[in-house]
């Protein structure tokens, strides 16, 4: 599939237990300042526009979801309209790592196994003395679930941008190869703006501004 001439919107959700740092990751990525994050209630939205070196302009619509069980019925309703999911655990919290399979299964049971790009994220990697999940163990889990793995830290600014760039690039590649397709009734990927046919330029009609 040719991606040129269209400004895309990708919906990406961050899932994981409460307090693993999903909101801090998003705030660092979107604004550059993590700040003190209160517990998310239901779902909150962030966005950031990107112009990749190769490919069309992309607007990321980023969904910050609550990790508390009492909000799960709310967050499950959003799974059907995401194309990317970052599964986040805290490397100092063993339980948050052990729950990753459950989070993964929730999305797969809703969307199916082939419609979502996943990335496993081990957050707070700066806290080496408190680590209870090894890099090797996390890599093995990611491999078994068929996804990539990265470690991040808001405090040390380690791999925050790279994590979002990685999942965005994977979505672009899947779209280009036809593994994921645009669908009218699905909000995971949308074409927000399509450039006019080049033949129309002869009439002195320039392309309208991208609305990303």
Q: Considering only 50-54, 64-68, 198-202, which range has the smallest mean pLDDT? A: 198-202
Residue 205 included in any domain: no
Give the Cα-Cα-Cα angle 49, 67, 95 (nearest 5 degrees): 120
**Number of domains observed in the structure of the chain:** 1
CATH of residue 63's domain is: 3.40.50.300
Highest mean pLDDT among 5-14, 63-72, 128-137: 128-137
pLDDT digits (tens, 9 = 90+) for 25-41: 999 999 887 654 555 54
Identify whether 57 is part of a domain: yes
Residues 122 and 163: their CA atoms lie apart, in Å, by 10
pLDDT band at 56 (very low <50, low <70, confident <90, very high): confident
Q: Say if 209 falls within a structural domain.
A: no
Classify strands 58-65 and 6-15 as parallel, antiparallel or unpaired: parallel
Domain membership of residue 37 as a residue range:
6-195
pLDDT at 47 > cutoff 50: yes
pTM beyond 0.85: the answer is no
Q: What tens digit of pLDDT does each residue of 91-106 get?
A: 999 999 999 999 999 8
User: Is 23 within the bounds of a domain?
Assistant: yes
Does residue 212 form part of some domain?
Answer: no
Spatial contact of 13 and 44, defined as CB atoms under 8 Å apart: no
Residue 181 lies in a domain: yes
**Rg from Cα positions in the chain:** 18
Asked whether residue 190 is assigned to any structural domain, the reply reads yes
Q: What pLDDT was estimated at residue 71? A: 47
Judge whether 175 lies within some domain: yes
């Amino acid at each position: 599939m040719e991606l040129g001439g269209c400004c895309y919107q990708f919906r990406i959700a961050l899932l994981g237990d409460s307090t693993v740092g999903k909101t801090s990751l998003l705030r660092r990525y979107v604004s550059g300042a993590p700040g003190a994050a209160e517990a998310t209630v239901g779902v909150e939205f962030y966005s950031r526009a990107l112009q990749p070196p190769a490919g069309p302009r992309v607007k990321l619509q980023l969904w910050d979801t609550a990790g508390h069980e009492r909000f799960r019925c709310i967050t499950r309703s959003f799974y059907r309209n995401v194309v990317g999911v970052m599964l986040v655990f805290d490397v100092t919290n063993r339980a948050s790592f052990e729950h990753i399979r459950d989070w993964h299964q929730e999305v797969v049971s809703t969307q199916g196994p082939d419609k979502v790009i996943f990335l496993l994220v081990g957050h707070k990697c700066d806290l080496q003395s408190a680590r209870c999940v090894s890099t090797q163990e996390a890599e093995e889990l990611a491999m078994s679930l068929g996804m990539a793995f990265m470690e991040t830290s808001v405090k040390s600014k380690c791999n925050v941008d790279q994590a979002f760039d990685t999942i965005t690039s994977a979505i672009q590649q899947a779209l280009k190869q036809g593994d994921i397709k645009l669908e009218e009734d699905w909000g995971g990927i949308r074409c927000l703006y399509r450039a006019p046919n080049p033949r129309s330029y002869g009439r002195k009609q320039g392309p309208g501004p991208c609305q990303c």
